[in-house]
Amino acid sequence: MQRVLLQNDAGPSDTLVESHGVLMAVMFVVVLPVSVVIAATFKRPQGSSTWFQIAAALIIIAGTALGIVAWQQSQPASDLLLAHIVIGSIVFAFAMIQAGSALIARPRKDTKYRQWWRPAHQYNGRILLLLGLANTFIGINEADAGNDWYIWVCIVWAAIVLFGVGKAIYNRRSAARHATSVPGSAAPANAKPAMADTKGPSSIEMA
């Protein structure tokens, strides 16, 4: 099937396409990866993620709505655009599940359901983040945004990952120094670094 460009006279406006792309790129290239690093390596007050869950859900809903409108104006769709739509639908469903499970269905810590909810929430978030990133690359291709966009996405992700790894190493060393500084104590060989505050989620927050 012949590839259909999004920015053509018979398709959606540049503003519509760019608004959809910017919202989704900001979420999956910057906001969600940063939230993973914060959740994994910083201490946060209990309940501090509520505002983020709500804001991220609203942004994803808005970005998805813009994408639906753009798709309706881009008929017939290419095979790659159809893949972008299918993955985007899955991402939207995962995002709503992630936000709903954190805001509404989060079990109390003293219940047996917490041990099942926590890993499910974490892995759902990781899948959401990876699918969102993959769909970002597909969207860049479909919009003919140019190679610079691929480069910048990789640079931003690499910077976030390196910062997260560096912060995790710093936390591990700080925990070891703290343990050895206490008289009569030593850090156990299998001691884990102090990562996130146990009062908050340790995986992707909107994820």
3-state secondary structure the chain: CCCCCCCCCCCCCHHHHHHHHHHHHHHHHHHHHHHHHHHHHCCCCCCCCHHHHHHHHHHHHHHHHHHHHHHHCCCCCCHHHHHHHHHHHHHHHHHHHHHHHHHCCCCCCCCCCHHHHHHHHHHHHHHHHHHHHHHHHHHHHHCCCCHHHHHHHHHHHHHHHHHHHHHHHHHHHHHHHHHHHCCCCCCCCCCCCCCCCCCCCCCCCCC
Does 111 reside within a domain? yes
Does 31 reside within a domain? yes
Residue 112 class from Cβ within 10 Å (0-12 exposed, 13-18 middle, 19+ buried)? Answer: exposed
Q: Per residue of the chain (207 residues), what is the pLDDT tens digit? A: 334 444 444 556 778 888 998 999 999 999 888 888 887 788 765 555 777 788 888 889 999 999 888 888 776 668 888 899 999 999 999 999 888 888 887 788 788 888 888 888 888 888 999 999 999 999 998 888 888 989 999 999 999 999 999 998 998 888 888 877 765 544 455 555 444 444 444 445 444
Does 89 reside within a domain? yes
Domain range holding 27? 14-181
User: Using CA atoms, how far apart are residues 129 and 60, in angstroms rounded to an integer?
Assistant: 12
User: Using CA atoms, how far apart are residues 152 and 37, in angstroms rounded to an integer?
Assistant: 19
- Whether pTM > 0.85 for this model: the answer is no
Residue with structure tokens 């983040």?
Answer: 129
CATH number of 152's domain: 1.20.120
Structure tokens, 13: 């406006």
Does 96 reside within a domain? yes
Tally of structural domains, the chain: 1
Does 73 reside within a domain? yes
Does 23 reside within a domain? yes
Structure tokens, 16: 């519509």
What pLDDT is stored for residue 2 in this prediction?
38
Does 108 reside within a domain? yes
What pLDDT is stored for residue 184 in this prediction?
53
Residue with structure tokens 């809903």?
Answer: 61
The answer to whether 204 and 125 are in contact (CB under 8 A) is yes
Does 9 reside within a domain? no
